Amino acid sequence: MMRVLLLGGTTEASSLAETLTKARVDAVFSYAGRTDSPKAQPLPMRFGGFGGVAGLIDYLRSESITHVVDATHPFAAGMSRNAFEACAQVNLPLVRLERPEWVPGSGDNWTLLPSVEDIPAALPDDPARVFLAIGKQQIGLFAVKPQHHYLLRLVDEPKGALPLPDCSVVIERGPFDVSADRALMETHRITHVVAKNGGGRGARAKLDAARTLGLPVLMAKRPALPGNRVASDAEEVM
């Protein structure tokens, strides 16, 4: 009997959860536990990590999982690599649901960098106003450029002091739209946008807004992930 482990946290994962439910597929939706207010899903949910490759293997066996779908964020490289290794060791089929990367178009002013770690050095030395649209996990990297004002958009209220001495925080959950993101950037007098190439429609708005305002975007490229079974939408997974 088929039983699917869906590694989620993205809009595409939620869409696949709906598809699996309608198809009456026995499945579990797994959140990494990086948010205090995860979106409700139509599938049974579990939260938190597995304890590395060994812990994931134990879970796959104990829960009689027959198929795994990795629909985590493209930058959740650690989870994706663990899933690939665990499935390889126990010989389970693994499909990665991966939304297409963003590509710059006419009028875009993007600087592509190998990783988020490379972006702080690419920011100007003179004080700037930076929309740091990368989530909360790596904002501490930008403490090396304390002369800038940083605008952070987070899903949850931060717990404790932030590592940036001069910053503003907006609590919002996507998807976002271009007009609202443009207004946000104008209100905060943003001069630079920092993003990760996560792809997808819901988070693209900030890039289109930056283009309309003529703002430079510093973009981190995706990490390389293992595996060659990749689907671009829920239909391909099924």
Q: Do 172 and 207 belong to one domain?
A: yes
Is 154 inside a domain boundary? yes
Express each pLDDT in 53-74 by its tens digit: 999 999 999 999 999 999 998 8
Residues written for the chain: 238
Write the CB contacts of 54 (distance below 8 Å, at least 6 apart in sequence): none
Q: Do 228 and 204 belong to one domain?
A: no
Residue 132 dihedral angles phi and psi, to the nearest 5°: -95, 85
Q: Do 70 and 18 belong to one domain?
A: yes
DSSP string, 8-73: --SHHHHHHHHHHHHTT--EEEEE-S--SSPPP-SS-EEES--SHHHHHHHHHHHTT--EEEE-S-
Is 182 inside a domain boundary? yes
- pLDDT recorded at residue 33: 63
- pLDDT recorded at residue 34: 63
Q: Do 74 and 129 belong to one domain?
A: no
Express each pLDDT in 184-198 by its tens digit: 999 999 999 999 999
- pLDDT recorded at residue 143: 97
**Whole-number average pLDDT of the chain:** 92
Q: Do 165 and 65 belong to one domain?
A: no
What's the mean pLDDT in 106-132?
97
- pLDDT recorded at residue 201: 79
Q: Do 114 and 183 belong to one domain?
A: yes
Percentage of residues of the chain with pLDDT beyond 90: 70
Q: Do 33 and 45 belong to one domain?
A: yes
Expressed as residue numbers, the domain containing 41 is 4-100+224-237
Q: Do 58 and 137 belong to one domain?
A: no
Is 140 inside a domain boundary? yes
Angle between helices 178-187 and 205-213 (to 10 degrees): 60
Q: How many domains does the chain have?
A: 2
Q: Do 215 and 120 belong to one domain?
A: yes
Is 105 inside a domain boundary? no
Instruction: Name all contacts of 137-141 with Cβ < 8 Å and 24+ positions apart.
Output: 137/34, 139/163, 139/164, 140/164, 141/116, 141/117
Q: What is the CATH number of the domain that holds 21?
A: 3.40.50.720
Whether the bond into 175 is cis, omega within 30 of 0 = yes
- For residue 183, pLDDT over 70 is answered with yes
Q: Do 76 and 150 belong to one domain?
A: no
Q: Do 158 and 67 belong to one domain?
A: no
Write the CB contacts of 117 (distance below 8 Å, at least 6 apart in sequence): 138, 141
Write the CB contacts of 88 (distance below 8 Å, at least 6 apart in sequence): none
Q: Do 80 and 118 belong to one domain?
A: no
**pTM for this entry:** 0.84
